[in-house]
Amino acid sequence: MSFNTFGKIFRFTTWGESHGPAIGCIIDGCPPNIAISEKDIQKDMDRRRPGQSKFTTQRKESDKVIILSGVFEGKTTGTPISIIIYNEDKKSRDYESIKNKFRPGHADYTYFKKYGIRDFRGGGRQSARETASRVAAGAVAKIVLKKIIGAKFNIVGAVTQLGLMSCNKNNWKNSEIRKNPFFCPDKQSVKLWEKYLMAVRKAGSSCGAIIELRASGVPVGLGAPIYSKLDTDIAASLMSINAVKGVNIGSGMNAAFLSGEENSDEIRKKSGKIKFKTNHAGGILGGISSGQDIVASFAVKPTSSILTSRETIDKKGKNTKISVRGRHDPCVGIRAVPIGEAMISCVILDHLLMHRAQCS
Amino acid sequence: MSFNTFGKIFRFTTWGESHGPAIGCIIDGCPPNIAISEKDIQKDMDRRRPGQSKFTTQRKESDKVIILSGVFEGKTTGTPISIIIYNEDKKSRDYESIKNKFRPGHADYTYFKKYGIRDFRGGGRQSARETASRVAAGAVAKIVLKKIIGAKFNIVGAVTQLGLMSCNKNNWKNSEIRKNPFFCPDKQSVKLWEKYLMAVRKAGSSCGAIIELRASGVPVGLGAPIYSKLDTDIAASLMSINAVKGVNIGSGMNAAFLSGEENSDEIRKKSGKIKFKTNHAGGILGGISSGQDIVASFAVKPTSSILTSRETIDKKGKNTKISVRGRHDPCVGIRAVPIGEAMISCVILDHLLMHRAQCS
Amino acid sequence: MSFNTFGKIFRFTTWGESHGPAIGCIIDGCPPNIAISEKDIQKDMDRRRPGQSKFTTQRKESDKVIILSGVFEGKTTGTPISIIIYNEDKKSRDYESIKNKFRPGHADYTYFKKYGIRDFRGGGRQSARETASRVAAGAVAKIVLKKIIGAKFNIVGAVTQLGLMSCNKNNWKNSEIRKNPFFCPDKQSVKLWEKYLMAVRKAGSSCGAIIELRASGVPVGLGAPIYSKLDTDIAASLMSINAVKGVNIGSGMNAAFLSGEENSDEIRKKSGKIKFKTNHAGGILGGISSGQDIVASFAVKPTSSILTSRETIDKKGKNTKISVRGRHDPCVGIRAVPIGEAMISCVILDHLLMHRAQCS
Amino acid sequence: MSFNTFGKIFRFTTWGESHGPAIGCIIDGCPPNIAISEKDIQKDMDRRRPGQSKFTTQRKESDKVIILSGVFEGKTTGTPISIIIYNEDKKSRDYESIKNKFRPGHADYTYFKKYGIRDFRGGGRQSARETASRVAAGAVAKIVLKKIIGAKFNIVGAVTQLGLMSCNKNNWKNSEIRKNPFFCPDKQSVKLWEKYLMAVRKAGSSCGAIIELRASGVPVGLGAPIYSKLDTDIAASLMSINAVKGVNIGSGMNAAFLSGEENSDEIRKKSGKIKFKTNHAGGILGGISSGQDIVASFAVKPTSSILTSRETIDKKGKNTKISVRGRHDPCVGIRAVPIGEAMISCVILDHLLMHRAQCS
């Protein structure tokens, strides 16, 4: 049982609050002798970092990672890797407005009811700031996976739905994703999305998003029946991200609408290689990877903090109203791409290690 | 780490194959002094039992549960409850046709690749027969929850989408669900669904389904940040069920399409009670129950075994074809209702016990 | 968290009470494709089996193991192995005398206080009968270890102290151990021990014992800092056995009396092989195996059920007396040898699999 | 599975190396709303701190604890408590002498063989410096236990054997323990011990020690069959401490030498209270606390680093010699008292929370 730990063999534990002195994570079970540096991890951190476009929160954080243990002379030693990220933009704000009120859509009410105490500064532990630690852990996982599996292993994520705006997945280009602030894989959608999100922001409103993750080069055989299925753990990993409300593997919820014939992913051997004709299964059969691309997607709900006044209650149970002042974050889903990539990387590595344990 | 165990404090471990002598589960961590009997568990078993209508598999199993330990003079003792269910309908069939072929959509290929060996009789461990053990564990969880929380606690599940056929959720009646073989909550849809599924069956095809679960009376405060969120564990529990490809909490994937205003679930105090104006969150905020109904849904893919011939390969990697003979199961999703209820019951009880540990 | 489960990757869960219909265990995480049979397991069961000499309990049990799952065509499939052992000698005895009294030295009082209910028949779950399940799990572990490590791997256990009687460990012969009912490794001590234990039995008394375990052929590198040390897990595994009160690794408690020079286990390379000049460490340094023999010992307290009347209280808290009638078991420690061997085998296999996960 | 995490509900994860920038721990599962401060923790830290007498290592560390998360306005919030301790005395020493040699009795050889890499600076992760993190976690556990159980709860540890010198346990005074640098509970032994240890130090040698722990006020009913016994977890917790080779519960290894009559701990009710006439069981029956004092002891081997030259091999497998220069630590066991207290406190709290989960 582990409230703040994720994983089975490759495990990470995160700690820290939005406006405490620092946040961080401990990575345990990392294989030894893997070259790793703060610089390597920083690359991924920078993709999640706030304040990089007008469409995300304006909190200023350099998110600089510092490795405190587990790496010696540039290589992992097999002992716990402690990573710390100091909070820089934690200046004393006017928390009076939210200190005694429960923001709708946030976990203010439930935290208070559960623990009888809550750190209200910026959401405390419920803040998405915690996800920075995940990205650090995921960066380590990706480096290890590349070392073990080789260059053919790749993880990519993109926003495929921005509120009411979809994109054309047939135009998906990995290279495009990093070129726009929306992590949109379809060049033609970018301008439309920009207009749309500007309108949402100006209206003081917010919108949700769907993120799709694709992992290629994953060996066949990762995952395990019955309660350590690869898709079970992917679902858990993604649902654990703040504001996520739905997770699909392959065709996901749409599988309900397919016929048995459509959904069957027939298998062929062609020029010595095993190929599936389709990938409705998202690369996972019976909880075990099939060697196809692993495809998972998840939905992020619209930002709960909006400029429009909302009805709520205060700590004493009195009816009141609340609204966010100043600038807000019109779509938290955008920044979920590197987080999703991090989580699925950790799950895949974890299952790779588990597979070595039982079946090597 | 536990391949075949589910849960943290209230834990169950399942074992057994489709055509072995028996299947079963061990429930560990059950509170003591709870009145429980085989008869109580049997009620739930009978709802999942095969062969009860022309729309489900014709395998004949009485699914009789036998308690081998952990209950003394009609009450739980706090020690492991071992439940066994003998397989009755395991007559030697012609497995030659599937012994050396990998059925598309099934886990034949991945099990073989992972382990280098597989029990091909009826799918062995990958068979949905395993879910009978889950239903037994879930029945115990429900009894314990009723004892601890009281009569106001209730779990109900229903099929809300049968392939291409939806139902009108405004007509949802709990009492209706048990009256039809589809677990449909909307009386008016039953006849249409019957026609539809008959047609699917006659075509030798199959269809998927969406199941919705509703848990009422769940106390506020269950769940825990960050990696033991209630929704994380519900997602994992449902994704672990055979053939499930998508999981939603509350608005789920549709949350992506909502505006911040629509999604915010405003809070009101009315006549001394805290009420949320909507429930897009599905009763869970920041991974912790809010006291609202917990609402989760999941999609089951269409039955992979269909009468139409499908392309595949054999154990030696040669291209071949495969099709199911005789009767088949046009929609495996139907029988997933009691399984989903069982899983969510186990998750809720587990979190209730965890909450007592940390916060009582 | 797992009340009745032992292990991390190779895990077993035991269930069942002394006088219930059966006991058993589920082994999860066992590597696939290992040849295993009920007959193989039975050999170890027979060494622990009661009623084999006048010095152990006269309960009549054939302890026949039945494998219900996880083995297909004679080989493990990588899925849970369910083993059941039916209780045969559970005839209705006169429990009235102990039903309402707490036997000193037994867990009657603590079970009742903890759970508010207890299965008093033969001690219920606290009975040493549970250890039969451990021996079954250990037998599987040993077979897997022999398969992975090869013939050089060996586990042997012996009683080195029987109450006040010691033996000469310089005379230790593995072949001798199975030839006498005391698991004594020193032929010259056997007759003295026999006389001694006869006297103890006739006096209606009982005595304790010390068991020493030696594992040879264990590869260097098993174990892990800090809380998964090999010696930590061995200590836990042995202390979990009924009536065990002390555990030593290598020199154990006596290490306190050694000087730094004596204790240092100097290292030499001789004819291409690394040798330690002594083995005070018991083959474990910093929680990791060194390639030397792993040596652990544990003390079993004297049988609590004796013919002499003892003072105690009853369920209502009234002072009373209790004594065992009929034959009794003068030294429960004797039968602990195969149990200790089983536990250490499971720990070593578990660590071998963990090592493969992180370091292969 | 968790290499560097201890506990089930109240869990702590430690990280850091002897000569890295810092060490620390994350405490997860701590109950909320408990008043806690760095000052409270510091008290325990100061008892373990090196350099406080001529009999312990002269490394200079203030061991100042800093709380980075999980405490808000002086109270625990139920979220992870991150504690960091900066290493101050990590000046660049001449590690050349040990960089390529394996110190006998240390884990140099096994770490290198396991991971293929090791942080040789001061022993890296294998250093006893890690135990500072445990003391911090234990301090938190003690505060929580005092809050939940009340003032009657108390933990005390003492050195009862210093190499060849024993003390008279009949003279045990808790107040005496903190008055001498040996944690000796018997005033009359202090001077003799001082002479003895001075002689050991001057000879460049070292000696072992036995530490006894006593926990009073522990409620009846903590612990759980079969693999979560309280004594199992205490044994694991103590064996995980650096250099510990043996663990006793109550009479421990000496239980082997007792008769059934002597060992039986008869029960009496006197003036409304249940009393045991003796406490050979060390307060634990069947793995569950009986309400008596919990008594455990453990042996620490003599310091491996001594001034006398020892034979060993180097990284290339060549025979060589090694000896420590300058001052050394004649008995590492002395400083193990606060560590043992910390570990047993964590175990008792963990079981108290587990008991609330299942049985409240």
A78, A225, A360 member nearest C356 (Cβ): A360
**Interface contact B106-A285, CB threshold 8 A:** yes
Q: Omega before C226 cis (within 30°)?
A: yes
Please give the pLDDT value at position A214: 98
**A165 vs A176: CA distance, rounded Å:** 17
Please give the pLDDT value at position A90: 73
Q: Is the pLDDT of residue B104 over 60?
A: yes
Query: How far are the Cα atoms of A58, B1, B160, C41, C344 from residue C142, in angstroms, in the given order?
Result: 60, 21, 51, 10, 10
Q: Tell me the mean pLDDT in the region C311-315.
A: 95
Q: Is the pLDDT of residue B92 over 60?
A: no
Please give the pLDDT value at position D328: 79
Task: Give the percent of chain C with pLDDT over 70.
Answer: 99
Environment class of D75 (CB within 10 Å of its CB; exposed 0-12, middle 13-18, buried 19+): middle
* Residue reference for tokens 């346990």: D169
Q: Are C213 and C280 in contact (CB under 8 A)?
A: no
- CB-CB neighbours of C63 under 10 Å: 21
How many DSSP H helices and E strands does chain D contain? 9, 18
Helix (H) or strand (E) holding B193: helix B187-202
**Interface contact A28-D75, CB threshold 8 A:** no
Please give the pLDDT value at position C257: 97
pLDDT digits (tens, 9 = 90+) for B35-58: 999 999 999 999 888 777 778 777
D31, D32, D358 member nearest B78 (Cβ): D358
Range scoring the smallest mean pLDDT among A145-159, B107-121, B294-308, C313-327: C313-327
Q: Tell me the mean pLDDT in the region B102-128.
A: 95
Nearest-Cα distance to chain A for D98, in Å, is: 16
Q: How many CB pairs under 8 A join A and B?
A: 374
**Interface contact A68-D16, CB threshold 8 A:** yes
Nearest-Cα distance to chain D for C320, in Å, is: 8
Residues of D in contact with A65 (CB under 8 A): none
Q: Is the pLDDT of residue C96 over 90?
A: no
Nearest-Cα distance to chain D for B359, in Å, is: 6
Question: Mean pLDDT over all residues of chain B?
Answer: 95
Q: Tell me the mean pLDDT in the region D160-187.
A: 97
Q: Tell me the mean pLDDT in the region B218-223.
A: 98
Of the pLDDT bands very low, low, confident and very high (cuts 50, 70, 90), residue D93 is low
Of the pLDDT bands very low, low, confident and very high (cuts 50, 70, 90), residue C93 is low
**Interface contact B80-C14, CB threshold 8 A:** yes
Category of D283 on φ-ψ map: left (φ > 0), alpha (ψ -120 to 50) or beta: left
pLDDT digits (tens, 9 = 90+) for C109-121: 999 999 999 999 9
Q: Are D250 and D295 in contact (CB under 8 A)?
A: yes
Q: Tell me the mean pLDDT in the region C52-58.
A: 76
Q: Is the pLDDT of residue B96 over 80?
A: no
**Interface contact D357-B353, CB threshold 8 A:** yes
**Interface contact D9-B78, CB threshold 8 A:** no
DSSP character string of A213-269? EEEESPPTT--BTTTB-HHHHHHHHHHTSTTEEEEEETTGGGGGGSBHHHHT--EEE
Question: Mean pLDDT over all residues of chain A?
Answer: 95
Please give the pLDDT value at position A89: 82
**A101 vs A320: CA distance, rounded Å:** 8
Contact B105/D at CB under 8 A: no
Task: Give the percent of chain C with pLDDT over 90.
Answer: 89
**A206 vs A268: CA distance, rounded Å:** 46
Contact D2/C at CB under 8 A: yes
pLDDT digits (tens, 9 = 90+) for D252-288: 999 999 999 999 999 999 999 999 999 999 999 999 9
* Residues B225, B227, B228, B231, CA torsion sign: positive
Please give the pLDDT value at position C16: 98
Q: Are B239 and B248 in contact (CB under 8 A)?
A: no
Environment class of B189 (CB within 10 Å of its CB; exposed 0-12, middle 13-18, buried 19+): buried
Q: What is the ipTM of this complex?
A: 0.97
Environment class of C304 (CB within 10 Å of its CB; exposed 0-12, middle 13-18, buried 19+): buried
Nearest-Cα distance to chain B for C22, in Å, is: 6
- Token pair, residue A99, equals 């200190």
* Residue reference for tokens 């799990």: C137
Nearest-Cα distance to chain B for A73, in Å, is: 31
**A101 vs A309: CA distance, rounded Å:** 13
pLDDT digits (tens, 9 = 90+) for B294-319: 999 999 999 999 999 999 999 999 99
Of the pLDDT bands very low, low, confident and very high (cuts 50, 70, 90), residue D92 is low
- Give the residue from D14, D19, D72 with the most A CB atoms within 10 Å of its CB, the best one to mutate: D72
Residues of B in contact with A109 (CB under 8 A): 267, 285, 290
Residue A244 backbone dihedrals phi, psi, to 5 degrees: -80, 135
**Interface contact A356-C354, CB threshold 8 A:** no
Question: In chain B, at which residue ranges do the beta strands (DSSP E only) sit?
Answer: 5-6, 11-16, 22-28, 65-67, 71-72, 75-76, 81-86, 154-162, 165-166, 209-216, 244-249, 267-270, 273-276, 284-285, 288-289, 294-300, 310-313, 319-322
**Interface contact C3-B28, CB threshold 8 A:** yes
B34: nearest CA in chain D?
D359
pTM for the model: 0.97
D31, D224, D354 member nearest B359 (Cβ): D31
Q: C-alpha dihedral over B68, B69, B74, B75, to 10 degrees?
A: -150
Q: Among B28, D220, B30, D225, which residue's Cα sits nearest to residue C127?
A: D225
Look at strands C294-300 and C288-289 and give their pairing: unpaired
Higher pLDDT, A61 or A189: A189
Look at strands B288-289 and A288-289 and give their pairing: unpaired
First to last CA, chain B: 27
pLDDT digits (tens, 9 = 90+) for C327-360: 788 999 999 999 999 999 999 999 999 999 999 8
**Interface contact A114-B228, CB threshold 8 A:** no
* Residue reference for tokens 């065992």: C324
Indicate the residue type of D316.
K
D13, D20, D76 member nearest A26 (Cβ): D13
- CB-CB neighbours of C154 under 10 Å: 16
Please give the pLDDT value at position B97: 75
Please give the pLDDT value at position C230: 98
Q: Among C241, C209, A286, which residue's Cα sits nearest to residue B245?
A: A286
pLDDT digits (tens, 9 = 90+) for B4-28: 999 999 999 999 999 999 999 999 9
Query: How far are the Cα atoms of A30, C141, D38, D148 from residue C2, in angstroms, in the given order?
Result: 24, 20, 33, 24
Q: Are B227 and A228 in contact (CB under 8 A)?
A: no
Please give the pLDDT value at position A94: 64
Please give the pLDDT value at position B55: 80
**C21 vs C235: CA distance, rounded Å:** 32
**A33 vs A347: CA distance, rounded Å:** 21
Question: Mean pLDDT over all residues of chain C?
Answer: 95
pLDDT digits (tens, 9 = 90+) for A119-129: 999 899 999 99
pLDDT digits (tens, 9 = 90+) for C179-234: 999 999 999 999 999 999 999 999 999 999 999 999 999 999 999 989 999 999 99
Crossing angle between the packed helical segments B230-239 and A230-239, to the nearest 10 degrees: 160
**Interface contact D359-B78, CB threshold 8 A:** yes
pLDDT digits (tens, 9 = 90+) for D195-241: 999 999 999 999 999 999 999 999 999 999 899 999 999 999 999 99
Task: Give the percent of chain D with pLDDT over 70.
Answer: 98
Q: Are A256 and A359 in contact (CB under 8 A)?
A: no
Nearest-Cα distance to chain D for C73, in Å, is: 31
Give the angle subtended at the CA of D352 by the CAs of D347 and D355, to the nearest 5°.
125
Nearest-Cα distance to chain C for B11, in Å, is: 8
Q: Is the pLDDT of residue A54 over 90?
A: no
Contact C360/A at CB under 8 A: yes
pLDDT digits (tens, 9 = 90+) for B129-156: 999 999 999 999 999 999 999 999 999 9
pLDDT digits (tens, 9 = 90+) for D7-38: 999 999 999 999 999 999 999 999 999 999 99
B1, B29, B225 member nearest D358 (Cβ): B29
**D49 vs D46: CA distance, rounded Å:** 5
Please give the pLDDT value at position B57: 74
Please give the pLDDT value at position A95: 77
**Interface contact A269-B220, CB threshold 8 A:** no
pLDDT digits (tens, 9 = 90+) for A301-345: 999 999 999 999 999 999 999 987 767 889 999 999 999 999 999
